[in-house]
Structures are given as C-alpha cells and as structure tokens.
C-alpha cells in the first residue's frame, strides 16, 4: 500500500497519530525502530543538520525535497514533511507538491507565512492574506497527482493577528481542500481547546519544547480532539547535548573511551539496515 | 573576469544554458559566457522562466558550466531567492560554483523573465539592502566576484525609465559593479541609461530592447552586452526541424543528417566531446596494459596527441 494511502487510513482510524521528528535518515530509522507509526520531517532540523543553518527560509525546495526523499526511502513508515510556504506563490506550490510526491512523502504541510519564512516559534513572522493562501491550498489539492497525498494547511496567524483569525483561517483552508489543519503556536491549553472546538477539520498539534505552546501529553492532545501530534525536536534536541557532552569528554579525557560499552561500527550499521543489506548480499552477491 | 572588463571596450557575451552550449561558445572564440536563467529553466526543468527554478538548481547548472569552460561565466541569480538574508547564502553558493559574477534583480518574488509582462519590483530601500548584503559577503569571500545589479523597474507594473535609472544609481552606490536596466524599448532609452547611470552598463540585447553593433555599443558606453537566448533558440530550431524530419521521412533521415553533420566544423563529435583528452590521461596515469583495450576494438579511435576537448586539458 502506498504511504499516502496508509496515512489517509490512519486519519480515519481511531487514535492519535504520533509522529516524532526526524532530521535525517538515521533519526528516521530510530523512530521506526522505536515502534512509531509515522515520521515527521522537521524543516528546522533539516536546515540545522543538512545546512548547519537556522530555520529562516534558507533551505531551498530542492534541498528540502531531496532530504525528504532520503528519509522516505530508508523507512517504511509514512512521512509527513515540512514544506514551508511552498517556496513562493501558487505556481511554486504546484511544483513543491509534485517534487514532494516524487520524494515519496505521505503528507506535507504548507504555511501561510510570507516567503522567506521563519520558525513558527520565533518573533517577526508575517502572513499573507487568507484568500491568497487558500488559493495556494486549492492549487496543492488540485494538482497533487496522488489523491491520497495528505495536504496539511498550517496557519501562523496566532502570533500575528490573534487566535480568532487563526481559527477563521483554519476553517477557510479546510474549505479550500486541506485534509488537516495545523494552527501553529497556540499559547495555552484553552487555546488548544478552542481550536479543537471551532476548527472543522482534523487537527495537527505541534509540540515544541521551549516554544509558545504548553507541553501536553499525546493522550491529553487526543482527548482534546487532535488527530496528529508532531514532536519535531525530540531527536535533534536529544542529539545536540549528547554530542556536546561527548565532545567535551573527548577533550578532557583525550580519548572517546568512556569506560562504558562503546558503539562499535556494527552497532551503528545495524541501526541503519545492515542486516537487511547483508541478506541481499548473501542472496545475490556472494560467490557461488 | 575583472581583467576582461579592464582591457576591453564592450564585452559581448552570448548566453548558454548548459555545459555543452558553454563549450560551443568558448570553442567559437568568446572570452566569457553568460548563463541564462530562462535557458536553465527551460532546458533543465522544461519550465518557463517564472520563478520556478530553485537556487540549488541554478547553482548546479552554474557549477556544471563553470567546470566545463575556462572562460569566466556570468550567471543569472534571479532575485537572490528571497530577502537580504537569502542573498547572503545565494552569493556564497554562487561563488562556490566557480562563476565569475552574477546578476541580482529587484523583482518581487517569484520573479519572471524580464521581457514578459506581469513583473513587480520590491521597494527601493529593500533592494538596496539586498545589494549591500551581496557586496558585503563577496568582499569577505572573493572581492573579485562581479556583482551586476539589475532593475526591472522600467517594465514593471507602475514603473518607468526614470525610476529604473534612479534605482540603478542607488544599487551602484550600494556596492554593485555594473548596472543592468532591464528592458529599454528604444535607442533613445538606451542612450539615456548610458548617460544618466553613473557606472558601468550591462546591456541585455534581447526581447523588446534594440539591437546594436559592437561599435555602436562602444559608442553608447556599454561595458558588457549579453545575448542570452540566441543559442537556446538555435538549438530549439535545429532539434525541432530534425525531429520533424525523423517523423516525416523516417529513420533514414538520421543517416542523412549524420552525413551532413560530419561536414560541420564540430562534426568530429567524439573529438569535440573530449575522448582524446581521456586517452591522454589514460596514457599518463594508467598501467600500459590498460591501453591494449584500444587495439582491435571497433569504433572511434581517440587521437593520442592532438589537443581539444574542453577545459582542464593537461
């Protein structure tokens, strides 16, 4: 079954879809191995890991779609990918949808920020008129070649024009054909609840540690009526301090042997599909 | 590139759209080549020049072109792919491709071809910020990198020649090396631009703009003139005519064409492609036994000593 079809079925099946954020193929593999049913490709994490740059609209469509393809091709889970603003106007959105489809993602989210965009949880965001963005959603929906591709409309209006406008926009985008609505950065649990009551569409919640939205548990979000929850920073947030600690220890101890059981090459390769490839080699490439 | 600008009256730079057409231009004797964004969009993606090409795609094409020729390359960098912050990354990436310079324009995102209606420009102050950003980063990374500031204000919605000239001067002050006023529609307009813009002039001889001889351009005071689309059109015409012949006359039209192509100055295709150079490398760097593969093997035999075959020949 296509990943798009699987994600669409998950949307109608009971239960909340929990999609931890992958910032590369390795983290996507770890998410799959941990037993999750969906992967989220974080744009902020892509910019940080792939380019070593902040999430300020510096990553191009080509870089994002290439990264999505790498992630989608190393896991069998449906991938929901950040597609920023769609990298321009409605014409660019059409190209973005096609490129992401070819990358093999199951769903993508497009946001109503002015291009170049900014991370949803930092100041200085600007948004385009609601009508203009509704047209971009219509373009995305009309020009997807796979009818099962899940189009998620994100509005960044909460921080710019307020919650009422964000809710109004959410409904407008759903009418324009969005399969899921993502109201970015509500500031309280009450706001999360109001969104859930007033937006007439399946909803995505974004849990960013240290962001504007209170940290809720997946079960709480499910109770509030959310259908998808993404944790974009879970892997990257764990990796950065772990790498920093390891680097500091190396400087101090002059060795990376910390006395514990080391991650040997095979331990690492096994995390990224060694056994599968070994089987391919055994069947097709070993000397007879 | 800076050397060419210093010692020449008007530098005439035809446009290429890929590594092959860049090599053809170099082979024909042009000392510099121009990478057309229109041609890149159409040849690489099969799309119109309407802001659909990404920075990554443009830079990949620029890198292929710059690697294929030793002539300096001036590349189209559209609007810099965003605001001043994006321009920093764009200039850095283009410098990394090996091109000698770029032009950046003041169109609102997403841009479109400068000779197609429906363009809009960003406010002057915002555009100046982008050129200042471009100048700052190239000074840091490669002070010789040539920055051409293009203004689309002449033909944009609500624009005028006066506004375009005003902007061109502001962009030169912001740090651009050459000013490129896109789309003048008469000789008189070109004359005014050359008179009133206080810096070297980059002229786009295409579309709605008048055509000149080199002497006329020199007299007008044009520093660089590009003809961006001629090779693209030539390719389209030749390829289409042959495609129609193949369809209408059948497979033997290929034989007839090949017979005729052999008489063309570039008709020795394998030599032009550079197989001789590969053979020289093989002789220089591979074990002699490897070269035995050429004996009693059917097909084009690369020459062992002639030159030719693109840039980088040892």
Residues of B tagged active-site? 34, 49, 76, 78, 103, 105, 113, 150, 182, 204
Partner residue facing B83 (CB), from A63, A91, A116? A116
Take residue A190 and report the two structure tokens written for it: 């009450």
- C-alpha separations of B205 from B4, B115, B190, B228 in Å: 19, 11, 11, 8
Average pLDDT value for residue range A72-77:
97
| CB within 8 Å: A57 and B82 | yes
Least confident stretch, B2-6, B61-65, B103-107: B2-6
**Please, which pLDDT band fits residue B113 given cuts at 50, 70 and 90?**
confident
CA distance A163 to B129: 33
Q: Are A38 and A17 in contact (CB under 8 A)?
A: yes
Can you give the pLDDT at residue B305?
58
| CB within 8 Å: A53 and B50 | no
Catalytic residue selected from A99, A111, A156, A191: A111
B304 pLDDT more than 80: no
Least confident stretch, A40-54, A117-131, A164-178, B252-266: A117-131
CA distance B135 to B121: 20
Catalytic residue selected from A24, A32, A36, A82: A82
- Chain B positions touching A58 (Cβ under 8 A) are 82, 85-86, 89
In a domain, A151, yes or no: yes
Query: Could you give the residue range(s) of every CATH 3.20.20.60 domain in chain B?
Result: 2-228
Q: Left (φ > 0), alpha (ψ -120 to 50) or beta: where does B309 sit?
A: left
| CB within 8 Å: A88 and B110 | yes
- Chain B positions touching A132 (Cβ under 8 A) are none
Which of A257-266, B7-16, B53-62 has the largest mean confidence?
A: B53-62
A164 catalytic? Reply is no
* Number of residues assigned to chain B: 314
- Chain B positions touching A57 (Cβ under 8 A) are 82, 85-86
Instruction: Provide the CA B114 distance to its chain's centre, in angstroms.
Output: 15
Take residue A242 and report the two structure tokens written for it: 């772990």
- Chain A positions touching B81 (Cβ under 8 A) are 60
Write the CB contacts of B121 (distance below 8 Å, at least 6 apart in sequence).
Answer: B106, B107, B108, B127, B151, B152, B153, B156, B159, B167
Catalytic residue selected from A32, A119, A156, A158: A119
Can you give the pLDDT at residue B197?
98
Q: Are B91 and B118 in contact (CB under 8 A)?
A: no
In a domain, A45, yes or no: yes
Chain B, nearest residue to A58 by Cα: B86
**Please, which pLDDT band fits residue A154 given cuts at 50, 70 and 90?**
very high
In a domain, A258, yes or no: no
Average pLDDT value for residue range B222-250:
97
pLDDT in tens, B197-234: 999 999 999 999 999 999 999 999 999 999 999 999 99
Partner residue facing B86 (CB), from A58, A62, A89? A58
State the DSSP string of A142-183: HH-SSTTPEEEEEE-GGGTT-HHHHHHHHHHHHHTT-SEEEE
A24 catalytic? Reply is no
Bond preceding residue B110 cis, omega within 30 of 0: yes
In a domain, A264, yes or no: no
Average pLDDT value for residue range B270-299:
89
- The distance in angstroms from the start CA to the end CA of chain B is 22
B6 pLDDT more than 70: no
Q: Does B57 touch chain A (CB under 8 A)?
A: yes
Q: Which CATH number fits domain B2-228: 3.20.20.70, 3.90.226.10, 2.102.10.10, 3.20.20.60?
A: 3.20.20.60
| CB within 8 Å: B57 and A62 | yes
In chain A, % of residues over pLDDT 70: 99
How many other CB atoms are found less than 10 A from the CB of residue A212?
A: 17
The per-residue pLDDT of chain A, averaged, comes to 96
Cα distance from A36 to chain B (closest Cα, Å)?
33
**Please, which pLDDT band fits residue B311 given cuts at 50, 70 and 90?**
very low
Residue that wins the pLDDT comparison between B302 and B183: B183
Tokens 């937006």 sit on residue: A199
| CB within 8 Å: B110 and A57 | no
| CB within 8 Å: B82 and A62 | no
In a domain, A215, yes or no: yes
Q: Which DSSP letter does residue A18 get? A: E
Q: Does B118 touch chain A (CB under 8 A)?
A: no
Q: Which DSSP letter does residue B280 get? A: H
Average pLDDT value for residue range A186-194:
97
**Please, which pLDDT band fits residue B88 given cuts at 50, 70 and 90?**
very high
The per-residue pLDDT of chain B, averaged, comes to 93
A86 CB-side CA count, 13 A: 32
Q: Which DSSP letter does residue A49 get? A: I
- C-alpha separations of A44 from A87, A100, A214, A234 in Å: 15, 17, 19, 12
State the DSSP string of B88-153: HHHHHHHHHHT-SEEEEE-BPSS---TTSS---B--HHHHHHHHHHHHHHHHHH-TT-EEEEEE-T
In a domain, A232, yes or no: yes
Q: Are A181 and A174 in contact (CB under 8 A)?
A: yes
Can you give the pLDDT at residue A121?
83
- Chain A positions touching B50 (Cβ under 8 A) are 91
Take residue A178 and report the two structure tokens written for it: 């969005």
A283 catalytic? Reply is no
A17 pLDDT more than 70: yes
In chain A, % of residues over pLDDT 90: 92
Element (H, E) at A245: helix A234-253
Average pLDDT value for residue range A53-63:
95
**CATH code, A189:** 3.20.20.60
A215 pLDDT more than 70: yes
Q: Are B220 and B189 in contact (CB under 8 A)?
A: no
How many other CB atoms are found less than 10 A from the CB of residue A131?
A: 9
In a domain, A157, yes or no: yes
How many other CB atoms are found less than 10 A from the CB of residue A26?
A: 17
**Count of domains observed in chain A:** 1
How many other CB atoms are found less than 10 A from the CB of residue B29?
A: 7
Partner residue facing A116 (CB), from B52, B57, B82? B82
How many other CB atoms are found less than 10 A from the CB of residue A9?
A: 12
pLDDT in tens, B21-42: 999 999 999 999 999 999 999 9
**CA-based torsion, B262, B263, B264, B265: positive or negative:** positive
Take residue B22 and report the two structure tokens written for it: 């860049």
Q: Does A53 touch chain B (CB under 8 A)?
A: yes
Give residue A64's domain range: 3-239
Average pLDDT value for residue range B232-245:
97
Q: Does A89 touch chain B (CB under 8 A)?
A: yes
| CB within 8 Å: A58 and B52 | no
Can you give the pLDDT at residue A288?
58
Residue A113 three-state SS: strand
Chain A, nearest residue to B109 by Cα: A88
Q: Does A56 touch chain B (CB under 8 A)?
A: yes
Q: Does B126 touch chain A (CB under 8 A)?
A: no
Q: Does B81 touch chain A (CB under 8 A)?
A: yes
Element (H, E) at B57: helix B55-68
Can you give the pLDDT at residue B288?
87
Instruction: Provide the CA B34 distance to its chain's centre, in angstroms.
Output: 2
CA distance B131 to A263: 49
Tokens 């890149």 sit on residue: B40
Q: Does A92 touch chain B (CB under 8 A)?
A: yes
Q: Are B302 and B275 in contact (CB under 8 A)?
A: yes
């Amino acid at each position: 079954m296509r990943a798009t079809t699987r994600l669409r079925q998950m949307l109608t099946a009971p239960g909340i879809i929990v999609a931890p954020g992958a910032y590369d193929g390795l983290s996507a593999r770890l998410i799959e191995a941990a037993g999750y049913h969906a992967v989220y490709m974080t744009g902020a994490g892509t910019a940080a890991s792939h380019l070593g740059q902040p999430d300020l609209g510096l990553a191009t469509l080509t870089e994002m779609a290439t990264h999505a393809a790498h992630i989608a091709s190393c896991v069998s889970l449906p991938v929901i990918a950040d597609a920023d603003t769609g990298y321009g106007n409605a014409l660019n959105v059409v190209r973005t949808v096609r490129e992401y489809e070819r990358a093999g993602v199951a769903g993508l989210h497009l946001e109503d920020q002015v291009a170049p965009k900014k991370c949803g949880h930092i100041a200085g965001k600007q948004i385009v008129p609601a009508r203009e963005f509704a047209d971009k959603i219509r373009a995305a929906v009309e020009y997807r070649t796979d009818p099962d591709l899940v189009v998620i409309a994100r509005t960044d209006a909460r921080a710019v024009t307020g919650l009422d406008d964000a809710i109004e926009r959410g409904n407008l985008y759903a009418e324009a054909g969005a399969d899921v609505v993502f109201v970015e950065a509500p500031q309280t649990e009450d706001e999360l609840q109001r969104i859930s009551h007033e937006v007439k569409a399946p909803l995505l919640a974004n849990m960013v540690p240290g962001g504007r939205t209170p940290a809720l548990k997946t079960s709480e979000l499910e109770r509030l009526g959310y259908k998808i929850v993404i944790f974009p920073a879970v892997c990257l947030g764990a990796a950065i301090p772990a790498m920093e600690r390891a680097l500091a220890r190396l400087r101090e101890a002059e060795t990376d042997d910390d006395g514990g059981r080391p991650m040997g090459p095979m331990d690492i390769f096994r995390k990224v599909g060694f056994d599968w490839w070994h089987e391919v080699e055994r069947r097709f490439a070993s000397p007879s | 590139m800076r050397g060419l600008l210093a010692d020449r009256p008007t530098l005439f730079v035809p446009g290429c759209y890929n590594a092959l057409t860049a090599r053809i231009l170099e082979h024909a004797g042009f000392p510099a080549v121009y990478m057309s964004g229109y041609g890149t969009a159409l040849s690489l993606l099969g799309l119109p020049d309407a802001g659909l090409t990404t920075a990554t795609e443009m830079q990949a094409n620029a890198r292929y072109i710059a690697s294929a020729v030793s002539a300096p390359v001036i590349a189209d960098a559209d609007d810099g792919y965003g605001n001043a912050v994006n321009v920093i990354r764009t200039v850095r990436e283009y410098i990394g491709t090996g091109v000698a310079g770029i032009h950046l324009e003041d169109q609102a995102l997403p841009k479109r071809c400068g000779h197609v209606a429906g363009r809009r420009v960003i406010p002057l102050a915002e555009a100046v910020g982008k050129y200042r950003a471009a100048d700052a980063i190239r000074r840091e990374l490669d002070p010789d990198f040539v920055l051409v500031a293009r203004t689309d204000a002449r033909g944009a919605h609500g624009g005028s020649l006066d506004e375009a000239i005003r902007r061109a001067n502001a962009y030169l002050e912001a740090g651009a090396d050459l000013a490129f006023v896109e789309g003048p529609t008469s000789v008189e307009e070109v004359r005014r631009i050359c008179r009133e813009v206080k810096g070297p002039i980059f002229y786009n001889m295409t579309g709605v703009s008048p055509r000149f001889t080199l002497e006329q351009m020199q007299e007008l005071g044009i520093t660089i003139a590009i003809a961006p689309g001629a090779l693209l059109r030539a390719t389209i015409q030749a390829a289409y005519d042959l495609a129609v012949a193949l369809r209408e006359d059948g497979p033997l039209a290929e034989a007839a064409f090949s017979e005729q192509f052999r008489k063309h100055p570039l008709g020795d295709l394998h030599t032009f492609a550079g197989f001789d150079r590969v053979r020289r490398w093989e002789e220089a760097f591979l074990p002699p036994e490897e070269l035995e593969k050429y004996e009693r093997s059917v097909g084009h035999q690369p020459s062992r000593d002639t030159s030719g075959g693109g840039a980088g020949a040892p």
